[in-house]
Amino acid sequence: MIEPDFSDRDGLIWFDGTLIPWRDARIHVLSHALHYASSVFEGQRAYNGHIFKLAEHSQRLIESARALGFDLPWSRETIDEACVQTMQSNGLNDCYIRPVAWRGAEQIGIAAQRTKPHLAIACWKWGAYFGEDKINSGLRLDIASYRRPAPYTAPVKAKAAGLYMICTVSKHQADDRGYDDALMLDWRGQVAEATGANIFFLRQGVVHTPLPDCFLDGITRRTVIAILRDQGVEVVERAIWPEELAQFEQCFVTGSAAEVTPVREIGPWSFEVGAFVQDVRKAYADLVRHGPGR
């Protein structure tokens, strides 16, 4: 099923403080963000009318913009309220919410001091990111040709649009080769993440996950680590080299869009889509829908 064009939908989008018709949410072709990637965004899900970890997402949006050198004139509380207002105004309870902030068209060129920051928030119904069938069958990941950049080459802690350019290229290459997504290594050749999700591995009852020193330390990633440790599962954050993948028994990815999705194959390596991963997925689903502090 092909989704409708995202520019041509019914609904409302919060745009610089005002709810406007979806089709009227437009920016100028000379917006700085379009030419120089001066844009940051968030992705978050609402369950039963409650946006999970909303304050953390809004705060990260503010910090991401600051990492790119521009301050948002909206407080974290205002962004929180705008996300809730957008969701409710569209009559949604279970949905995906996308806040995006960018520099406008007041100045063109590398310099952007005179540009005005903008903020828009959209939301829509979105099921399983990789499709419902992958929850049981697991994903097949290619190995991306591009690598996550070193922390001294880019603001790697920001959820910045420009950092996702190589993710799109890698995802398309994986799709063309018959895979669901791609595993990205980092600048050193260590395992980093999928194109839009963090990754975890199981071996002999211990969970291993790459240390996020040059890619996003996802909010879902941190949530899943907390779930596992609360259950008494040992979680080790460390450098993981590709040659270690043959030693792992199970694998899964996490993200606000991906939630918890099992992986059955990465390049030449295979993994069991077993009870452990499915239990993690169920524990996360229970937390986001019914848990304390949602």
What would the 3-class secondary structure string for the chain be?
CCCCCCCCCCCEEEECCEEEEHHHCCCCCCCHHHHHCCEEECCEEEECCEECCHHHHHHHHHHHHHHCCCCCCCCHHHHHHHHHHHHHHCCCCCEEEEEEEEECCCCCCCCCCCCCEEEEEEEECCCCCCCCCHHHHCEEEEECCCCECCCCCCCCCCCEHHHHHHHHHHHHHHHHCCCCEEEEEECCCCEEEECCCEEEEEECCEEEEECCCCCCCCHHHHHHHHHHHHCCCCEEEECCCHHHHHHCCEEEEEECCCEEEEEEEECCEECCCCHHHHHHHHHHHHHHHHCCCC
Of 53, 159, 171, 282, the active-site residue reads 159
Q: Where, residue-wise, is CATH 3.30.470.10 in the chain? A: 12-124
* CATH dotted code for 12-124: 3.30.470.10
**For residue 291, what pLDDT band results from cuts at 50, 70 and 90?**
confident
pLDDT reported for residue 75: 98
User: Which tens digits make up the pLDDT trace of 133-174?
Assistant: 999 999 999 999 999 999 999 999 999 999 999 999 999 999
Q: Judge whether 282 counts as a catalytic residue.
A: no
pLDDT tens digits, residue range 80-93? 999 999 999 999 99
pLDDT in tens, 92-129: 999 999 999 999 999 999 999 999 999 999 999 999 99
- Please, where in the chain does CATH 3.20.10.10 lie? 134-290
Q: What's the average model confidence in pLDDT over 70-82? A: 98
pLDDT of residue 293 exceeding 70? no
CATH code: domain 134-290 is 3.20.10.10
